[in-house]
Chains A and B, each alone.
Chain A
Amino acid sequence: MMEFFGHLGLGFAVALTMQNIILCFVGCLVGTLIGVLPGIGPIATISILLPLTFGLEPTSALIMLAGIYYGAQYGGSTASILLNIPGESSAVVTALDGHAMARKGRAGVALGISAIGSFFAGCFSTLLMAAMAIPLASIALIFGPAEYFSMMVMGLAFAILLARGSILKAILMVLVGLLLAGIGPDLTTGQLRMTFSQRWLSDGIEISLLGMGLFGMAEVFRSLEHGESRDTVRTAAIGRLLPNRAEMKQSAKPIMRGTLLGSILGLLPGNGAVLAPFASYTLEKRLAKDPSRFGHGAIEGVAGPESANNAGAQTSFIPLLTLGIPPNAVMAVMVGAMTIHGIVPGPQIISKTPDIFWGIIASMWIGNLMLLVINLPLVGLWVKLLKVPYRLMFVGIMIFCCLGVYFIRREPIDILMLGGLGIVGYGLAKLNFEPAPLTLGFVLGRMMEENLRQALIISRGDILTFVERPISLVFLLLAIVMLGIGFLPKVSKRREEVFVE
């Protein structure tokens, strides 16, 4: 126990310098600024703002990134409450009751409770992370390449199960992602693969470029179909921000339940965090005395899912920091960010650079606090920003994406690739393919290939190594069970229902 507080103390000592607090503040501010733009989720926001951290030393850079990350998350909720345009899938749920509350003139309370719930979730999951990091990292040390490979297979199977629509199409998307990850130099021989002798492809495709194209630009193309038909909260009245005593009492339990649910789901590899707000919403609706209020501005329907979302977003750092495996595309962008600063996420980060590790954990909490401090007073500003009509807004989104892409490598050809990926993403949507499994396949592709090759070298070419090693076998069996569940007709119907809801 003393050790636990000692670690947290070390983290705060690293994180709490004046410079870092200012960086965290700026990160939160610009993160929300970009994240609040409709259609720009956390992936695109982090990608656009990542270059801001390039000149900083590692700890400060990560603290600023944490600020950007939480700002982006909260910006997304703000957009879905006020505009009913969720920036990413996890904000869909918030839009249901949050926007209904906004239309009844309670936008302020919805935003307020979402900030408070997120803060509570952030505090809890920070403590959870601190407590779980060392045990998990020591488990990771007994994992060999075979276990890593099988665990990633399980993560992909889970992502397939979570995707909406046809299972076959989700599997295909994962495979396409794996294939795209293969572009670039081979891991051992360095021979170029699938680059078509193009110099700009020789390093492979950048994950943030893929994210901005498939999510950011594709979303712009899709939104342009509808023209100016947005359901903005036109009334200037945001109302009071702080929930009153009765509202707090109503929300307290949903916040706690959401936090717990989100923390657990976030731990799962394969983007379990995405499930958290849906699960919390369904749970609250089940538990409510009068479920019919849901969808018409029930505060529990905002408090629970928002807490679950934030808790999941935070605990999804755990697989990344302890096992080195990014559970979703956002975390993959974070890996990219860390690698740039010379930090390789994985079990060795705790023992080798404890100050950085505990600094990150502490900075997450600071990021959460910052959000509460700056966002509530600034709500008016975000509202004004969201009143910009979409016919102008999308132009702004485009230019931010251009800048984000340009800052990565300063190669103009990447801007053309952004457009190309945007069109691909638009096409995928038209053909009912979901881009999320693709990005996860892309994220894990290189690591999977590397571990597969190493495992086979160790076993001298014996493929059975994956089923002979017990932990690896368990992962593979779980993967098969998940895929099997997905193919059950009854379950696939239920999946539809959950997502329609």
Chain B
Amino acid sequence: MKTDLVKSSQNLISGLILIAFAAIAVWSLSNLSQGTVTSIGPAMVPRTVALLIGLGGVVLVVLSLLHESEPLERWHVRGPVFVSLGLIAFALTIKVPGFLVAAPLSMMIAGWGSQDARLRELIIFSVVLTGFCILLFKVLLGQQLPILVIHSLSIRI
């Protein structure tokens, strides 16, 4: 991972991300007014902060060329990917057809984020936990939570 030019890949990447982040912020503020010191406009504070972040990013990049520090850690993709897929499934199904579908579906997808996942156990756990959540949040605590919504059958619980 070590080349002669870049001594700390972690700082280099951090710096570049921050510079990009600051640039996006500055660009998104481009049509807002800066104002004056007496009456500060909507863009002044965030723009100044964004510029400082960009500056800090540059410092990190420069440091990465000068000093060695910890190397970049390995990213594990499996967990984040499956959990994110689970979250997407939840977001897509929570309104229609509702929690009764969204919860077990998302849990059964996300469960594979662990390398030790076992199908049977995961199914049982998802079903039990779905029931528990409905009981706790909907029945006992009276939260507004669509449990089962199927328009064609006019079901709305």
Residues of chain B whose beta carbon lies under 8 Å from any beta carbon of chain A: 10, 13-14, 17-18, 21, 25, 28-29, 32, 36-43, 45-46, 49-50, 52-53, 56-57, 59-60, 63, 70, 72-73, 75-76, 78-80, 83-84, 86-88, 90-92, 94-95, 103, 106-107, 110-111, 113-118, 121-122, 125-126, 129, 133, 136-137, 141-145
Question: Is A168's CB within 8 Å of the partner chain B?
Answer: yes
Contact B107 A463 (CB under 8 A): no
For A168, list chain B residues within 8 Å (CB). 56, 59-60, 63
Contact A220 B79 (CB under 8 A): yes
CA distance A398 to B70 in the complex (A): 31
Question: Is A338's CB within 8 Å of the partner chain B?
Answer: no
For B116, list chain A residues within 8 Å (CB). 227-228, 389, 391
Contact A431 B14 (CB under 8 A): yes
Within the complex, what minimum Cβ distance (angstroms) separates B4 from chain A?
22
User: Given A390-B114, A391-B117, A419-B84: A406 and B94 within 8 A (CB)?
Assistant: yes
Question: Is A98's CB within 8 Å of the partner chain B?
Answer: no
Q: Which of B18, B42, B60, B70 contacts A191 (CB 8 A)?
A: B42
CA distance A196 to B103 in the complex (A): 31
For A452, list chain B residues within 8 Å (CB). 40, 45
For B43, list chain A residues within 8 Å (CB). 193
For B137, list chain A residues within 8 Å (CB). 403
Contact A221 B114 (CB under 8 A): no
Q: Nearest A residue to B13 by beta-carbon distance?
A: A431
Within the complex, what minimum Cβ distance (angstroms) separates A102 from chain B?
24
Contact B38 A395 (CB under 8 A): no
For B125, list chain A residues within 8 Å (CB). 392, 395-396
Q: Nearest B residue to A449 by beta-carbon distance?
A: B45
Q: Which of A55, A186, A416 contacts B87 (CB 8 A)?
A: A416
Question: Is A178's CB within 8 Å of the partner chain B?
Answer: yes
User: Given A175-B52, A178-B49: A398 and B91 within 8 A (CB)?
Assistant: no
For A217, list chain B residues within 8 Å (CB). 83
- Residue of B84, B91, B143 with most partner-chain A CB within 10 A: B91
Residues of chain A whose beta carbon lies under 8 Å from any beta carbon of chain B: 30, 51-52, 55, 168-169, 171-172, 175-176, 178-179, 182, 186, 188-189, 191, 193-196, 217, 220-221, 224-225, 227-228, 389-392, 394-396, 398-400, 402-403, 406-407, 410, 412-413, 415-416, 418-419, 422-423, 426, 430-433, 449, 452-453, 456-457, 460-461, 463
Q: Nearest B residue to A191 by beta-carbon distance?
A: B42
Contact B49 A392 (CB under 8 A): no
Contact A176 B53 (CB under 8 A): yes
Contact B129 A221 (CB under 8 A): no
Q: Nearest B residue to A418 by beta-carbon distance?
A: B87
10 contacts between A and B (CB under 8 A): A169-B14, A175-B52, A191-B42, A194-B46, A224-B113, A224-B114, A400-B133, A412-B94, A416-B88, A431-B10
CA distance A105 to B143 in the complex (A): 41
Q: Which of A52, A396, A415 contacts B91 (CB 8 A)?
A: A415
CA distance A418 to B18 in the complex (A): 21
User: Given A168-B60, A196-B28: A391 and B111 within 8 A (CB)?
Assistant: yes
Within the complex, what minimum Cβ distance (angstroms) separates A407 from chain B?
6
Within the complex, what minimum Cβ distance (angstroms) separates B90 from chain A?
5
Contact A179 B46 (CB under 8 A): yes
User: Given A182-B46, A412-B91, A453-B40: A175 and B53 within 8 A (CB)?
Assistant: yes
